[in-house]
Amino acid sequence: MEKVIIIRYAEIHLKGKNRGYFERVFGVNLERALKGIRHELHRTSGRYLVANFDEEKTEEICGRVSRVFGVHSYSVGLCVPYDLDSVYEAAKEVCPREGTFKVETHRADKKYPMTSMELNAHIGGRLLDDFPALRVDVHTPAHTVCLDIRENGTALVFGKFEKGAGGMPVGTSGKGLLLISGGIDSPVAGYMMAKRGMNVELLHFHSYPYTNDGAKEKVKELARLLSRYSVSAKLITLNVAHIQEQIHAKCAAELNVTLLRRFMFRLAEKTAKEMGAKCLITGESLGQVASQTIEGITSSNAVVTLPVLRPLIGFDKDEIVLVAKKIGTFETSVLPYEDCCTVFLPDFPAIKPKLSFVEEEEKKLDVEALMREALESREVFSL
């Protein structure tokens, strides 16, 4: 009788002939998540088992597994030979001594000599004989004894299904570059794209000396928190203070943010192409601020050829905050440090900037020279 952690995957079973590829990536991600903990990872049909680990590490292993995208659910259970006596001894370990219960069987091995209903009745009857304080309730039991009869001659016996992160294994949907600020939205956007299997790299714009090192440290902490979900453990930063100075000095004040975002998108696209990323990712939500109107979004999109993914585009702030709290980034995001977009912020930013006017104002700037200076400020932090 061996203690194991049973991992079931989410959408991978829908992948047909490509399923093997997704399973391999999923296995690599599980191994990466469990790095530093002694264990063995075994793959069976539709299941992964974490075995041969120190039982004192059970909670830590479960915590790490719960953050791996692709995990539908997981359970702490027992692996035994699938003869009736061995299954029953494991069921005794899992079953409470009193209260209501039921036995529920899944048979991956359809050649097993007993049907699921017969196994339920047999194991349940023996439990009732040994524990008179138990009562059967097949509709709303307080406890369930789950039996999973596998094709390799073993049975998995457990009592609970714990919900996993869901989604697809990171690395199966290409690479994208997230424009991460110090706010609430962009970390959530990165999390959501990683959940869909995208390998997410991180780019942050700062305005030193107008913003201080505290602002940069805040973003580094957000990046560290996201790395728990297989988002990149590397952060790239670029200084755009000189760009903001030139925009402020030469262009219409109401376009300060609009023009800055066009520079950000150009710089992000150049960075993305250098690292092999196929898209940009932002935390924009339609109408949330002046630059996130459809006109503002159109202005930003006009300067890049890569697709720009905006997973939060239809979310309101309350919905975004809920996810931020769930993934543990909210408390850091609300720390009071400056964001580069607040530097030289006009009293009345353009809500519906006309693209022709934006392009005319931008001609007052040496775009290529300003971009070169920003790219020369590049710093890379390994988190």
Expressed as residue numbers, the domain containing 38 is 2-163
- Residue 374 pLDDT level (bands cut at 50, 70, 90): very high
Number of domains in the chain: 2
Is pLDDT above 90 for 46? no
Mean pLDDT of the 79-100 span: 95
Mean pLDDT of the 114-128 span: 95
311 and 186 in one domain?
A: yes
- Residue 287 pLDDT level (bands cut at 50, 70, 90): confident
Task: Report the phi/psi class of residue 368: left, alpha or beta, with left for phi > 0 and alpha for psi in -120 to 50.
Answer: alpha
pLDDT in tens, 125-177: 999 999 999 999 999 999 999 999 998 899 999 999 999 999 999 999 999 99
129 belongs to a structural domain: yes
Q: What is the pLDDT of residue 212?
A: 80
Number of other CB atoms surrounding residue 88 within 10 Å: 18
169 belongs to a structural domain: no
283 belongs to a structural domain: yes
Q: What is the pLDDT of residue 230?
A: 81
Is pLDDT above 70 for 341? no
127 belongs to a structural domain: yes
- Residue 340 pLDDT level (bands cut at 50, 70, 90): low
Residues 6 or more apart in contact with residue 82 via CB below 8 angstroms: 109, 112, 149, 150, 153, 154, 155
- Residue 343 pLDDT level (bands cut at 50, 70, 90): low
Q: What is the pLDDT of residue 34?
A: 95
Q: The domain spanning residue 256 has which CATH number?
A: 3.40.50.620
Q: How far is CA 383 from CA 33, 176, 195, 377, in A?
A: 15, 18, 20, 19
208 and 118 in one domain?
A: no
250 and 149 in one domain?
A: no
Q: How far is CA 246 from CA 150, 249, 264, 342, 358, in A?
A: 67, 5, 14, 15, 15
pLDDT in tens, 315-332: 999 999 999 999 999 999
Q: For the whole prediction, is pTM greater than 0.85?
A: yes
Is pLDDT above 80 for 347? no
109 and 195 in one domain?
A: no
171 alpha-carbon distance from chain centroid: 12
Q: Which of 138, 163, 188 is the last residue of a domain?
A: 163
Q: What is the pLDDT of residue 213?
A: 80
209 alpha-carbon distance from chain centroid: 33
Mean pLDDT of the 114-123 span: 95
- The whole-angstrom separation of Cα 146 and Cα 47 is 15
In terms of Cβ atoms closer than 10 Å to its own Cβ (0-12, 13-18, 19+), residue 304 is: middle
Q: What is the pLDDT of residue 233?
A: 82
Q: What is the pLDDT of residue 338?
A: 66
Q: The domain spanning residue 76 has which CATH number?
A: 3.30.2130.30
The mean predicted confidence, pLDDT, of the chain is: 93
Instruction: State percent of the chain over pLDDT 90.
Output: 83
Q: Which tokens in the block code for residue 136?
A: 């059967």
Q: What is the pLDDT of residue 44?
A: 86
Is pLDDT above 80 for 346? no
308 and 227 in one domain?
A: yes
- Per-residue H/E/C for the chain: CEEEEEEEECHHHHCHHHHHHHHHHHHHHHHHHCCCCCCEEEEECCEEEEECCCHHHHHHHHHHHHCCCCEEEEEEEEEEECCHHHHHHHHHHHCCCCEEEEEEEEECCCCCCCCHHHHHHHHHHHHHHHCCCEEECCCCCCEEEEEEECCCCEEEEECCCEECCCCECCCCCCEEEEECCCCCHHHHHHHHHHHECCEEEEEEEECCCCCCHHHHHHHHHHHHHHHCCCCCCEEEEEECHHHHHHHHHHCCHHHHHHHHHHHHHHHHHHHHHHHCCCEEECCCCCCCCHHHCHHHHHHHHCCCCCCEECCCCCCCHHHHHHHHHHHCCHHHHCCCCCCHHHCCCCCCCCCCCCHHHHHHHHCCCCHHHHHHHHHHCCEEEEC
Is pLDDT above 80 for 178? yes
209 and 159 in one domain?
A: no
Question: Which residue shows structure tokens 């259970």?
Answer: 77
345 and 289 in one domain?
A: yes
Q: What is the pLDDT of residue 291?
A: 81
Residues 6 or more apart in contact with residue 218 via CB below 8 angstroms: 182, 332, 335, 337
170 belongs to a structural domain: no
168 belongs to a structural domain: no
331 and 241 in one domain?
A: yes
Q: What is the pLDDT of residue 342?
A: 63
199 and 151 in one domain?
A: no
132 and 9 in one domain?
A: yes
244 belongs to a structural domain: yes
237 and 318 in one domain?
A: yes
- Residue 373 pLDDT level (bands cut at 50, 70, 90): very high
69 and 39 in one domain?
A: yes
356 belongs to a structural domain: yes
Q: Which of 136, 163, 190 is the last residue of a domain?
A: 163
Q: Which of 120, 140, 163 is the last residue of a domain?
A: 163
Is pLDDT above 80 for 311? yes
Q: What is the pLDDT of residue 15?
A: 85
Residue from 196, 177, 171, 178 nearest 273 by CA = 177
